[in-house]
A and B are shown apart, each in its own frame.
Chain A
Amino acid sequence: MDAVLLARIQFAGTIIFHFIFAPLTIGLAWLIVWLMARYWKRGDDASRNLARFWINLFAISFAVGVATGFAMEFQFGTNWSKYSRYVGDIFGAPLAIEVIFTFFLESIVIAILLFGWDRVSRPAHFLASVLVAIGSTMSAFWILVANSWMQTPEGYILHNGRAEMTNFLHVVFTHSMIPRLLHTVDGALVTAAFFMLGISAWFLRRGRQVESFRITFIVALVVAFLTSVGQLGTGHLSAWMVTRTQPEKLAAFEGLFKTQAYAPLTLIGIPDPAHATLRYAIRVPSGLSLLAYFRPDATIKGLDRFPPDRWPPVVWTFYSFHAMFWLGMLFIAFPLLGLFLWWRKQLYHNHAFLTAAWLLTPLPFLANELGWVTAEMGRQPWIVYHVLLTRDAVSISVPAVHVLLTTILFGAIYLTLFLFWALFFRREVSRRWEESAVEPLVKDAQ
């Protein structure tokens, strides 16, 4: 098999697996800050046990996130040695800064958060939760700095057969960085909010620990609504930036093969790159021009402006973008329905809604992955946009069979990790479950 393809499969596989846990922990860390503030203020057993329950779920996911993130730091060197040599002067810096300022912080202070219950004061414990949340969010900041530079490289020159940094601030604040950061971190909050919503619903649905889980349920519902609406804004900002910085990627998002004024917004369709058409498309006339430039007659570049061998994989990019978009719509509609039921005082005992909330839990994780595929597939065939092709970036000294072997091992280990994560997750939940007696389903009016 092709060494480049294998290296890509390995990288995508490891990062997709890591990206199940990373957004969850980033978002959940902030919800835990809220629970720890609540415990600091009240200091009673109920608030302590509630915080502890969510911290335990956080800890299980954090452990898998750390274990898998560990491998990623070295995968640029192992599988992408030509990339590392060519752009290390720029790309290595944010990665190393991430380690120095964020990994140390979260990995060291997490011990206080997890085991500090009878050893540190409540304010100190609260401080630990804030530091872990800051650490994990700053970690997202620096890794997205590195990623954004691959998408919209700035602040460098090509010199001495490599890319050399000319301005550190331009490297950090490339055009796509702020939109990407907002969209990704807000996505992490959406993920964590739906996670908290779903698990709280599971308890409410069965009438256990109702008092505690009503609190996390309603807060998660509000957070889920606000952050999902926020994704409309940050998503729009991201697409707006892609229009200006990576036009062929936007064209692939939209399946826009022809450059045109009054460009339509595609709601759904089947792209056919071989014939450069979009079949069975449902479109909003002039929608894309309006969204991108606020004018219906604005011209949007289509894929016809670019040589076909420089097109992103249109089918992958198109479907992942649209699936993410429609999931985002669902993430707004569902909490909105919940808030409506709450207003009508029919929320906490509505079995259908509680069951749906529980079943929806995996979908934000899926949306995160689709977002990753959209962004990274949309960047292909470049590893650094318009600077270095992916196929020119792999380690030439590594035989394809070694990559295949390690990919299989990664697959086996990660699958096992996932099963254990699920097992320990279930145990945490059922331990909490067994501590409690069945209580009658409460009425909203209480």
Chain B
Amino acid sequence: MNTLQIVWFILLTVLVIGFTVLSGADLGVGILRFFARNEDDQRAMLSAIGPFWDGNEVWLLAAGGASFAAFPPVYAAIFSGLYLPLMVALFALIIRAISIEFGSREQSQPARGYWGIAWAVTSTLATLLLGMALGNILRGLPLNAGGEYTGSFFGLLNPFAWLLGALNLAMLTSHGAFYLAMRAEGDLRARASRWALISWAFYLPLTVFTLFAATRYLHLARNYTGAPGWWLVPALGLLAVIFAGLWTSWQAPTAAFVASCFSVTLLLASAAIALFPLLVPALNNPALSLTAANASSTPLTLFVMLIAVIIGLPLVAIYTIWVYKVFGGKITKAGHY
């Protein structure tokens, strides 16, 4: 395995983390729309994510595009193998985009309410399915020698996939609630904190349970048994989860949200450590697994892409900071939605 392959394994992880931390907040706020009490709640929730969700979602495109460019067989195996779940996730994301954009243009009830429900349903569905997809990738897929998925659709609905789907729902719901508690004021802020604690009460045990369940898969445990120092990463992740909850109950929503960002980052990093250098473990025969070493593009392509990322990501940071500077801060009543 060469350095470029390792770098791209890490970059792909970074893009997935970037998507989950940023878009996770707006997906979570979308899920919480189910619990909105009135018109004002929905307006504030839309204002909290309205200017940002589109840019946030590009991180998923970046992860998809990077996997295509850097590890084509991985992109091919995952998207054709998880065909139906990922297609439904795409449909959900398409409808979600429209329900945010068109819903905020809607002036009257009950139409605004319908768009809000579409927004909540699609956010939930996308979160569940993306979590299940990650679960299937971690667990491994049955592959043939050509790197094609050989299982059936129902093979994707295994308990570990459901567990990761549930974890992702709990994680992003609480992440979104931490975010909303930080940005909202008054009554909504109090309720967002309560939603955060309720979803956190699922997030924490599901995290612990998933960590235990994952160690039962030999291919996920091997890096940790080989170098136990890596256990520090999931341990810190778990600590961040705990502190996110504590800070919420101590009424420090900004600290809670930062802790939540750390927890999402560290838990996904733990998953990447568990996989490395695997990208798609082959469930039927470990020798058929797609890895950073055997499934990468040529060094030239990896190098060109690396240059693009080195120039491009600082630019992304600049636009992101600009937009958060203009639209960040507390949500005011005279918001734009």
Partners in one complex: yes
Any B CB within 8 A of the CB of A70: yes
Any B CB within 8 A of the CB of A13: no
Cβ contacts under 8 Å, B323 to chain A: 108-109, 111-112
Cβ contacts under 8 Å, A82 to chain B: 76
Segment of B27-35, B61-69, B176-184, B259-267 in the binding face: B61-69
Given contacts A105-B315, A108-B320, contact A420 B98 (CB under 8 A): yes
* A70 and B93 contacting across the interface, CB-CB below 8 Å: yes
Interface membership of chain B positions 68-92, coded 1 if the CB is closer than 8 angstroms to chain A and 0 otherwise: 1110110111111101101100110
* A84 and B319 contacting across the interface, CB-CB below 8 Å: no
Cβ contacts under 8 Å, B301 to chain A: 89-90, 92-93, 164-165, 168
* B148 and A397 contacting across the interface, CB-CB below 8 Å: yes
Cβ contacts under 8 Å, B83 to chain A: 78, 395, 397-398, 402, 406
How far in angstroms is the closest Cβ of chain A from B144?
8
Q: A91 to B76, alpha carbons, bound, how many Å?
A: 13
A397 in complex: contacting residue of B57, B70, B75, B149, CB < 8 Å: B149
Cβ contacts under 8 Å, A60 to chain B: 101-102, 105
Given contacts A101-B312, A116-B326, contact A111 B52 (CB under 8 A): yes
A-B contact count (CB 8 A): 215
Residue of B nearest to A68 (CB): B94
Q: A100 to B62, alpha carbons, bound, how many Å?
A: 7
Given contacts A81-B76, A96-B68, A100-B309, contact A115 B336 (CB under 8 A): yes
Given contacts A92-B65, A99-B61, contact A63 B102 (CB under 8 A): yes
Cβ contacts under 8 Å, A398 to chain B: 80, 83
Any B CB within 8 A of the CB of A119: yes
Cβ contacts under 8 Å, B309 to chain A: 100
Interface membership of chain B positions 100-118, coded 1 if the CB is closer than 8 angstroms to chain A and 0 otherwise: 0110010000000000000
* B73 and A85 contacting across the interface, CB-CB below 8 Å: yes
* A99 and B87 contacting across the interface, CB-CB below 8 Å: no
* A397 and B91 contacting across the interface, CB-CB below 8 Å: no
Question: Would you call the interface of chain A mostly helix, strand, loop, or mixed?
Answer: helix
Any B CB within 8 A of the CB of A417: yes
* A95 and B65 contacting across the interface, CB-CB below 8 Å: yes
B87 in complex: contacting residue of A100, A101, A406, CB < 8 Å: A406
A67 in complex: contacting residue of B94, B300, B322, CB < 8 Å: B94
Cβ contacts under 8 Å, B73 to chain A: 85, 88
Any B CB within 8 A of the CB of A359: no
* A96 and B305 contacting across the interface, CB-CB below 8 Å: yes
Any B CB within 8 A of the CB of A158: no
Q: A77 to B69, alpha carbons, bound, how many Å?
A: 11
Residue of B nearest to A172 (CB): B304
Interface size on B, residues (CB 8 A): 62
Cβ contacts under 8 Å, A101 to chain B: 308, 312, 315
B97 in complex: contacting residue of A63, A74, A87, CB < 8 Å: A63
Any B CB within 8 A of the CB of A297: no
Any B CB within 8 A of the CB of A98: yes
Any A CB within 8 A of the CB of B284: no
* B316 and A70 contacting across the interface, CB-CB below 8 Å: no
Residue of B nearest to A59 (CB): B101
Cβ contacts under 8 Å, A166 to chain B: 300
How far in angstroms is the closest Cβ of chain B from A125?
10
* B298 and A89 contacting across the interface, CB-CB below 8 Å: yes
Residue of A nearest to B78 (CB): A77
Cβ contacts under 8 Å, A77 to chain B: 64, 68, 75-76, 78-80
Any A CB within 8 A of the CB of B39: no
Residue of A nearest to B152 (CB): A399
Cβ contacts under 8 Å, A34 to chain B: none
Q: A95 to B67, alpha carbons, bound, how many Å?
A: 11
Cβ contacts under 8 Å, A92 to chain B: 65, 68-70, 72, 75, 297, 301
* A93 and B305 contacting across the interface, CB-CB below 8 Å: yes
* B61 and A70 contacting across the interface, CB-CB below 8 Å: yes
* B57 and A70 contacting across the interface, CB-CB below 8 Å: yes
* A96 and B90 contacting across the interface, CB-CB below 8 Å: no
Cβ contacts under 8 Å, B64 to chain A: 73-74, 77
Identify which of A115, A396, A409 gathers the most chain B CB atoms within 10 Å of its CB. A115
Name the interface residues of B42-72: CB closer than 8 Å to any CB of A: 50-52, 54-55, 57-58, 61-62, 64-66, 68-70, 72
* B308 and A96 contacting across the interface, CB-CB below 8 Å: yes
Name the interface residues of B287-337: CB closer than 8 Å to any CB of A: 297-298, 300-301, 304-305, 308-309, 312-313, 315-316, 319-320, 322-323, 326-327, 336
Any B CB within 8 A of the CB of A71: yes
* A84 and B51 contacting across the interface, CB-CB below 8 Å: no
A residues adjacent to B (C-beta < 8 A): 59-60, 63-64, 66-68, 70-71, 73-74, 76-79, 81-82, 84-85, 87-93, 95-101, 103-105, 107-112, 114-116, 119-120, 131, 162, 164-166, 168, 395-398, 402, 405-406, 409-410, 413, 417, 420, 424, 427
A-B contacts, 25 of them at CB < 8 A, read A63-B102, A68-B94, A70-B61, A74-B90, A76-B68, A78-B80, A81-B148, A85-B73, A89-B72, A92-B69, A93-B301, A93-B305, A95-B69, A96-B66, A104-B315, A108-B316, A109-B322, A111-B327, A115-B51, A119-B327, A164-B298, A165-B297, A395-B76, A397-B80, A397-B83
